């Protein structure tokens, strides 16, 4: 299913982003990752890391020209990662490929953080 189909299902709506908005979201991700690294309580680490993952998903979705509708917005925002990263690179604009190259290392940092803090049992996979 494409993001366009998601829009037709009223799960997404068109969104026009800009460099400043994306930079601000990346700043929030960095802040959250650093906070999660410093925290020791598993519940807070998970909540902070979840927020960072949501922001990374938002960056990808915004860069694709969409945002999630209010109903189930976390679900569709995070689920869009597989649709965006899994789709054919030849069909993507260069700006989205550039954003992906910046998002993927952050996702790997978060994966490592979860493994180090032994939080894998907290993850709910869709």
Read off the pLDDT of residues 6-38 as tens digits, 9 standing for 90 and up: 999 999 999 998 889 988 998 898 898 888 778
Mean pLDDT of the chain, nearest integer = 77
Residue ranges per structural domain of the chain: 3-122
**CA dihedral sign of residues 90, 60, 73, 123:** positive
Q: Average pLDDT of 91-117?
A: 62
Q: Which of 14, 17, 15 lies closest to 26 in space, CA to CA?
A: 17
Name the band, by pLDDT with cuts 50, 70 and 90, for residue 67.
very high
Give the CA dihedral 22, 25, 26, 28, nearest 10 degrees.
160
Q: Is the pTM of this model over 0.75?
A: no
Hunting for tokens 């938002």 — which residue is that?
A: 58
Name the band, by pLDDT with cuts 50, 70 and 90, for residue 122.
very low
**CA dihedral sign of residues 115, 117, 121, 126:** negative
Query: How far apart, in whole angstroms, are the C-alpha atoms of residue 85 and residue 87?
Result: 6
For the chain, count helices (H), then strands (E): 5, 2
Residue 45 has pLDDT above 60, yes or no: yes
């Amino acid at each position: 299913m494409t993001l366009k189909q998601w829009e037709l299902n009223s799960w997404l709506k068109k969104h026009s982003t800009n460099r400043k908005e994306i930079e601000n979201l990346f700043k929030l991700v960095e802040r959250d990752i650093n906070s999660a690294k410093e925290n020791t309580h598993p519940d807070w680490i998970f909540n902070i890391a979840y927020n960072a993952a949501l922001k990374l998903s938002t960056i990808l979705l915004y860069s694709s020209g969409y945002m999630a509708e209010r109903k189930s917005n976390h679900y569709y925002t995070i689920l869009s990662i597989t649709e965006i990263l899994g789709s054919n690179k030849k069909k993507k604009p260069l700006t989205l490929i550039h954003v992906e190259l910046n998002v993927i290392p952050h996702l790997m940092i978060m994966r490592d953080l979860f493994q180090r803090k032994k939080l894998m049992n907290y993850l709910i996979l869709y």
